[in-house]
Amino acid sequence: MQLHNLSIREAHQLLITKKISSVELTQAILQRIRDVDPKVKSYVTITDDLALEQARGADERIRKGENITPLTGIPFSMKDCISTRDVRTTCSSKILENYIPQYNAIVTNRLADAGAVLVGKTNMDEFGMGSSCENSAFFPTSNPWDLTRVPGGSSGGTAAAVAANLCTFGIGEDTGGSVRMPAGFCNITGLKPTYGRVPRYGLIALVSSFDCIGPMTRDVADCAQVLQVIAGQDAHDSTSLLDAIPDYSESLGKSVKGLRLGIPKEYFIAGMEAGVERAIREAIRIFEELGMEIHEVSLPHTKYGLPVYYLILFAEASANLARFDGTRFGLSANDGIASPLGIENIVDIYLKTRHDGFGDEVKRRIMLGAYTLSAGYYDAYYLKAQKVRTLLRRDFETAFEKCDALIAPICPTTAFKLGEKTGDPLSMYLSDIYVAATNPAGVPSLTIPCGFSNDMPVGMQLIGKHLDEQTLFQIGHAYQQVTDWHKQLPPL
């Protein structure tokens, strides 16, 4: 038995029957990180001391039989945009390279209360801007299936860490595909929950009206367990939803017979890699075999999804990133300037800090956002995009009158080569074509491995109604009972 390969449920069984301890499990994962991560480079910070302390605490809880949850003693990794008290939280940006938060995100607290063990913070595209993890200011992460390829972005570090068994589960963040695209590229399961299902307090904001924290796991059943712990309203985030949290494990194992699966015709278009389309079509056939009704549906405004997503992103991101100015968080050019308190020099501090601290992609988006929000262009771009956003949301509402979930690809291709798109931001944006519309609409979407094309993993997404993660888990779990794509491991 290899401890680093275990799912959450397998590890939990061994822990509560005292066949292994959390300290043993955590040490096995830390050893695996030392052996394998120099190749994959998924971690920005490894928290070994904290992990072993949390593991000892978990073992104590298990020994006393007190307060045991399905995540007690289970090692996990977390995307480096989620605040961890006393642990560096960088967003993979130079501007936050040495930033140590004084407080935990709600999600960090919930996982700690459940007894989960944080082994490290994972690499990402700077501030979540990117689809390949190459926009990290520190180093790119590799895809464990082929080290010359990208893991997808922006939660690429978390996806690679889960796929390479460098943690038992991971926590990512999805503003426009950042959980789902790397999950698909790395052959793991990932959920972008309904907007507001998981509190954002302590998540360093990219786009406040899109951002969602979500689980990245070995399979759907594990995903349900993690969502159970992190979901639910919190007073620190007024956009977090009050709705009751169902028992997600209840939907696992239920038959999908008679459930209606929609195929949005706008998502199956020319330009998709043949092997990707073949894998999704085969998944649809399996769902039909499982007794689901298949319907073609239309999401007529799909072609506006990507422009709407990027316009709103530029606008909100430029506003959110205004707080990084050298006077509050992280890097400050203050030291290098002759009379830092001179009022005329405060502008120099802003300019120099932001010049030195932000990478090219971040600067590009801030400039585009400032442009779209400026007087004269606001109505033409930002306001228009918000109106079309409503149309995108209505497309989904109409489709869900006829079906219980939709199936779609994640990306037109499998993982591309490192460096292939870095010189061409527009082609990088285009790889988000299938994932970008769900965030403006706020609906949940679950990525599941569904095959391989040219030896690289293919993922599909199941898109659900607002707050209907259960149905996605039900369908995804049924699929994973009759397929074993999710069990394939990279050749590391």
432 binds ligand GLN (CB under 6 A): yes
Report the nearest approach of ligand GLN to the CB of residue 153 (Å).
6
Report the nearest approach of ligand GLN to the CB of residue 105 (Å).
16
Residues 436-465 that bind ligand GLN (CB under 6 A): none
What are the Cα distances from residue 478, in Å, to 213, 218, 249, 252? Answer: 24, 15, 13, 8
Structure tokens at 34: 């030392």
- Region of 90-98, 175-183, 233-241, 480-488 interacting with ligand GLN (CB under 6 A): 175-183
Active site amino acids: 79, 154, 178
CA distance 73 to 58: 5
Structure tokens at 431: 């790889």
316 binds ligand GLN (CB under 6 A): no
CA distance 97 to 77: 18
174 binds ligand GLN (CB under 6 A): yes
Looking at the Cβ atoms of 403 and 437, the one nearer to ligand GLN is: 437
Q: How far apart are the first and last CA of the chain?
A: 17
Contact residue for ligand GLN among 70, 115, 120, 130 (CB under 6 A): 130
Taking Cα atoms as reference points, which of 351, 363, 356 lies closest to residue 321? Answer: 363
Site map 74..113 versus ligand GLN, x via CB under 6 A: ----------------------------------------
- Burial of 343 from C-beta contacts in 10 A (0-12 / 13-18 / 19+): exposed
Residue with tokens 């800090």: 353
Report the nearest approach of ligand GLN to the CB of residue 177 (Å).
5
CB 411 within 8 A of CB 185: yes
- Region of 137-145, 171-179, 258-266, 376-384 interacting with ligand GLN (CB under 6 A): 171-179
Side-chain half-sphere exposure of 115, counting CA atoms within 13 A:
24
Contact residue for ligand GLN among 156, 177, 190, 457 (CB under 6 A): 177
Torsion-angle region of residue 247: left (phi > 0), alpha (psi -120 to 50) or beta? beta
129 binds ligand GLN (CB under 6 A): yes
Contact residue for ligand GLN among 140, 176, 202, 262 (CB under 6 A): 176
Looking at the Cβ atoms of 348 and 432, the one nearer to ligand GLN is: 432
Looking at the Cβ atoms of 81 and 259, the one nearer to ligand GLN is: 81
Contact residue for ligand GLN among 178, 187, 447, 480 (CB under 6 A): 178
CA distance 156 to 174: 11
Report the nearest approach of ligand GLN to the CB of residue 382 (Å).
16
Looking at the Cβ atoms of 79 and 477, the one nearer to ligand GLN is: 79
Angle subtended at Cα 251 by Cα 250 and Cα 254, rounded to the nearest 5 degrees:
110
CA distance 142 to 87: 24
Contact residue for ligand GLN among 69, 123, 131, 165 (CB under 6 A): 131
Report the nearest approach of ligand GLN to the CB of residue 174 (Å).
5
Interacting residues of 69 by C-beta distance below 8 A, sequence separation 6+: 114, 115, 229
CB 256 within 8 A of CB 478: yes
Site map 184..223 versus ligand GLN, x via CB under 6 A: ----------------------x-----------------
Looking at the Cβ atoms of 180 and 477, the one nearer to ligand GLN is: 180
Structure tokens at 245: 């949290």
Report the nearest approach of ligand GLN to the CB of residue 271 (Å).
18
175 binds ligand GLN (CB under 6 A): yes
CA distance 156 to 43: 10
Torsion-angle region of residue 122: left (phi > 0), alpha (psi -120 to 50) or beta? beta
413 binds ligand GLN (CB under 6 A): no
Report the nearest approach of ligand GLN to the CB of residue 473 (Å).
21
128 binds ligand GLN (CB under 6 A): yes
Length of the chain in terms of residues written = 492
Side-chain half-sphere exposure of 420, counting CA atoms within 13 A:
17
151 binds ligand GLN (CB under 6 A): no
Interacting residues of 269 by C-beta distance below 8 A, sequence separation 6+: none
CB 429 within 8 A of CB 305: no
| DSSP character at residue 193 | P
- Residue least distant from ligand GLN (Cβ): 178
313 binds ligand GLN (CB under 6 A): yes
Report the nearest approach of ligand GLN to the CB of residue 210 (Å).
8
CA 240 to chain centre: 18
Total chain residues near ligand GLN (CB under 6 A): 14
- Region of 18-26, 122-130, 327-335, 351-359 interacting with ligand GLN (CB under 6 A): 122-130
Binding site for ligand GLN (CB under 6 A): 128-131, 153-154, 174-178, 206, 313, 432
